[in-house]
Structure 1
Amino acid sequence: MSTKVPEVPAQLPRSFDRPDEPWYRYLNIDLIFYVLSYTLFHPWTSWILVLCLRAQYTPYENIEMRIAMAWAMLMSAIGIFGIFSERIAFGQPREVDLSEEVIVVTGGVDGLGGLLAETYGMRHANVAVLDAKKISEDEAEAKGVVYYECDVGDAAQVEDAVKQIVEDLGAPTILINNAGIVHPKSIIDSTAEEVERVFRTNTFSHFNTLRAVLPHMLREQRGTIVTVSSALGHLGAANLSSYAASKAALHALHRTLCAELAQNPKARDIKTILVSPGQMSTTMFAKVKTPSNFFAPVIAPTEVAKEILRLIEKGQSGEVTAPFYTSWVSAFGVLPHGVQALLRKWSGVDTAIASAGLVKETANEKSR
């Protein structure tokens, strides 16, 4: 007796829907630096070169041998300095067991926050999302995430939501402040209500969640706080005044939070992570083009999420900057003013929003 194999419908990826890109479109400074960091700039690889020269019976007094040894010692010294520097700045890492953590993500329905929430949901962690958007119970159950409809810019709503989270899941120990919106308008065209709403969502929400969650972390004497800011918080940009200013405030808030936690004996195992990415391929700035795909590539949210997850699960404090140029953006202000002006003009940071036609779309609020 034969049995009929059931047919399972499947939709495979259609690669031909994507335009063919030349190979050099995938080559950028981030990829080059990534390869160099594991080869030429890696202490272990540097010493492998020395061993290879010795395997060929290269005398120690030969110039190539001396250069190889000097380079290996330099890379080793830089690596050791980095380890001690991070230990002095951030202290020892804390132990993290996801089964004993309660993770709260603001703005976790889509974008970067949604990616982080769903990743932890798939790993059966206790995840609570605070977002103004509604999610059906079936979708929430499928993702393994508990959603709480909440305007994070409203302190009373945040307090009520956190109380409910404590009853449902337990005391929050990981807080990912990710919620963010943008009104692409010039300063003179922005209304008071629009500016206030941007600051309520992007900045005031951090104060609201910290006041509600941090006392639980102090009682538990452990925790991790992730502050998602932006490289625009250092640079500013035309037609993004409220967004850039709200993100700049988060840099100051993060530094102040670190200083206050450092003075509290109960906060020794409360870690802080500052995230300052460049342009990500999310809906917020989907139409904006960078001036150079080589020096300033658009980064996928998965790359940023991967670094955030790595620091959280290692129990470490730190900073996440991506792509590569964002690591040096904080030093932009120390450059001569003429150099700053030339770099702003070349980068197109002040014309990108208008060129993308986003300034006219003031009726449609772009959400992360």
Structure 2
Amino acid sequence: MPEVSALTTDILSLFTPSTTLLLLSISTVYSITLSPHPRTPSFSLDYLLHLTSILFPPLPYIYFLTISYILTLLAISKPVAATPFLIAVWYTLLYGIHALNTRLGNGKARKVVWREQIAVVTGGAGGLGWMIAEVLERKGCGVVVWDVQRPQEWTEDEEGIRWYKVDVGDAEAVEKAYEKVKRDLGIPTILINNAGIVNGLPLLSLTPSQYTRTFNINTLSHFHTCRTFLPAMLASPLGGTIVTVSSVLGHLGASHLTDYTASKAALLAFHTSLSAEIASLPVASNPGAENIRMVLVKPGQLSTNMFSTLKSPSDFFGPVVAAKDLAMEIVDAVERGRNEVLCMPVYAWLVEWLGVLPVSLQRVARWASGVDGAMESFGGGRKRD
């Protein structure tokens, strides 16, 4: 046992205060770089972190660089330092923990063969929905857009993307549209619940019909579509993927957005509860349960018509997310075939930690972010993507 004790002492001696601080810094930066980052260049915290991610290449490169460094020191008769190997081993542990967490938390990946997939995108006449539809179509997936408005870029002879006029707030209309998709293309395997509207008015200025419509489109439509799509997904061993587009405002709340933020907050609980329900179903009678994947999307402000009149309080810390960037991230998540939560930009990933701060600091954070004053310039009136 003395040998073990001596080895332990030698290992602990490597963790000097400066080395420990370096490893903690690496851990923090590594964890942040795991969140999605913008593909569109801009001077923002998100894009700088995106560039920082080059510091974390695949494991073989880390060890190649480490060994090359050590051999170089030996070649010029310099003393060999243990720090490079310690960093490489630490990074390996971080990488391994992340991989294990992904596997245990998100389950086995669902195999996605695009030419065999049929996707329905709600609220797809423009904005994020239409961009998702275009990315899916380029992948070779059959795509149907549901919206009450005709997409501006859609034509009657459109070969890849079909448009059905559907009010997703109407349960009967959803069921009829689903049957039409089955007749025209086949059983849908991907559901993108994206439809959403915003009024941008304080509670006392909202009429019952306005906030009822907000919940019908933003929240109840998810109940209608999932109740309609799930039976076939559960019956097929191939399963399917359901994407729930919520918002970071579902966590934050905001002045002039009582109906919108409440409808988006409901989706956070809806996603979690439905995921738990599917996971608890017996596989014997529901062969597709093991292959149904749930993706929750919580973006910040998007570059779409819905909030186009708003100015971000800080383009560096709270940049407007390009809709095309988020669309590609969503499709990539579907292709990875795992249960996921997508947050863009970085502050949307960190905002859940706001609740652990003292109330006074939470108020300071809200004031500094400008989240409550931003809607004063909105002007009111229903908007959609």
State the TM-score, normalized to the length of structure 2. Answer: 0.83
Q: How does 1:187-266 map to 2 (within 5 A)?
A: 187-221=203-237, 222-264=239-281, 265=283, 266=287
Shift of 1:336: 1.1
Shift of 1:49: 4.1
User: Which amino acid counterpart does residue 182 of structure 2 have in structure 1?
Assistant: V
Shift of 1:344: 0.2
Q: How does 1:291-306 map to 2 (within 5 A)?
A: 291-306=313-328
The aligned counterpart of 2:20 is none
In the TM superposition, what whole-angstrom CA distance separates every residue of 1:123-149 from its partner, at most 9, and x where no partner exists? 442111111113589715336211110
Shift of 1:107: 0.5
Q: Does the 8 Å contact 1:53/1:65 carry over to 2?
A: no
Give the count of matched residue pairs: 337
Shift of 1:40: 5.0
Q: Does the 8 Å contact 1:118/1:143 carry over to 2?
A: no
Cα distance in structure 1, aligned partners of 2:372 and 2:186: 45
2:150 to 129, 134, 146: 134
1:269 to 291, 302, 305: 291
Shift of 1:198: 0.5
Q: 1:137 to 1:81 in 2, by over 3 A?
A: closer
Cα distance in structure 2, aligned partners of 1:279 and 1:312: 22
Cα distance in structure 1, aligned partners of 2:90 and 2:79: 16
Cα distance in structure 2, aligned partners of 1:116 and 1:300: 12
The aligned counterpart of 1:281 is 303
Q: How does 1:1-368 map to 2 (within 5 A)?
A: 26-40=42-56, 43-44=59-60, 46-57=62-73, 65-135=81-151, 139-142=155-158, 144-221=160-237, 222-264=239-281, 265=283, 266=287, 267-354=289-376, 357-358=377-378, 360-362=379-381, 365-368=382-385
User: Which amino acid counterpart does residue 361 of structure 2 have in structure 1?
Assistant: V
What SS does the corresponding residue of 1:117 show, helix, strand or coil? helix
Cα distance in structure 1, aligned partners of 2:153 and 2:321: 32
Shift of 1:66: 2.4
Shift of 1:57: 2.1
User: Which amino acid counterpart does residue 331 of structure 1 have in structure 2?
Assistant: W
Q: 1:164 to 1:188 in 2, by over 3 A?
A: same
Shift of 1:69: 2.1
What SS does the corresponding residue of 1:139 show, helix, strand or coil? coil
Shift of 1:340: 0.5
Shift of 1:180: 0.4
In the TM superposition, what whole-angstrom CA distance separates every residue of 1:283-318 from its partner, at most 9, and x where no partner exists? 111121112111111110111111111111122221
Shift of 1:64: 8.0
User: Which amino acid counterpart does residue 113 of structure 2 have in structure 1?
Assistant: D
In the TM superposition, what whole-angstrom CA distance separates every residue of 1:24-78 from its partner, at most 9, and x where no partner exists? x93221112112222157655543442232132259xx99832222222222111
Q: 1:187 to 1:138 in 2, by over 3 A?
A: closer
Q: Does the 8 Å contact 2:125/2:152 carry over to 1?
A: no
User: Which amino acid counterpart does residue 243 of structure 1 have in structure 2?
Assistant: Y
Which has the larger displacement, 206-215 or 124-133? Answer: 124-133
Q: 1:48 to 1:103 in 2, by over 3 A?
A: same
Cα distance in structure 1, aligned partners of 2:342 and 2:118: 22
What SS does the corresponding residue of 2:121 show, helix, strand or coil? strand
Q: 1:48 to 1:291 in 2, by over 3 A?
A: farther
How many percent identity over aligned positions? 38
Which has the larger displacement, 204-213 or 124-133? Answer: 124-133
Shift of 1:325: 1.3
The aligned counterpart of 2:17 is none
Q: Which runs of 5+ in 2 are unaligned?
A: 1-40
What SS does the corresponding residue of 1:53 show, helix, strand or coil? helix
Q: Does the 8 Å contact 1:177/1:206 carry over to 2?
A: yes
The aligned counterpart of 1:4 is none
Cα distance in structure 2, aligned partners of 1:93 and 1:127: 22
Q: 1:236 to 1:49 in 2, by over 3 A?
A: same
